[in-house]
Amino acid sequence: MAAFGAALTVVLAASVALICLRRLSDLAVPIAQTVPARLPFAGGSEPQFHAWNRFHVRYYAMALLFLAFDMEMVFMYPWAVVFVEEGVVALVEMAMFIAILVLGILYAWREGALSWA
């Protein structure tokens, strides 16, 4: 129970600090801001469209493909360390993993997820 008490104390201290800092920032910033001061910084120019503007579905497909490549790299770095100890077994396992990812990329390519037209 002492471990939970310590965790509760940390959460409580962080919450109190967050509330105090929020109130302090409210006191430091003037309440009445002009329209240009309320706009987000965009290189000095006004935004051309709203931040909640919808994106085309192709961007989401590309994001998923990026995640596939990203996960490949996430698993390859620890694999490089284990490869020294495991040898050929680790090499075969990584070849199977990459083959599955390549099949996914080939499927996406065949379905047209990589074309912007």
**More confident call, 10 vs 34:** 10
CATH number at residue 80: 1.20.58
Residue 90, domain member (yes or no):
yes
27-64 pLDDT per residue, tens: 877 666 666 666 666 566 666 777 677 777 777 777 87
Count up the domains in the chain and report the number: 1
Residue 66, domain member (yes or no):
yes
Which structural domain range is residue 36 located in?
A: 2-111
Residue 117, domain member (yes or no):
no
Report d(CA 90, CA 80) in Å as an integer.
Answer: 9
Query: Which residues fall within 8 angstroms of residue 74, CB to CB, at 6 or more apart?
Result: none
- pLDDT (mean) for 100-114: 83
Q: Which 3 state secondary structure label does DSSP give 82?
A: helix
Residue 116, domain member (yes or no):
no
Express as a percent the part of the chain with pLDDT over 90. Answer: 15
DSSP letter (8 states) at residue 67: H
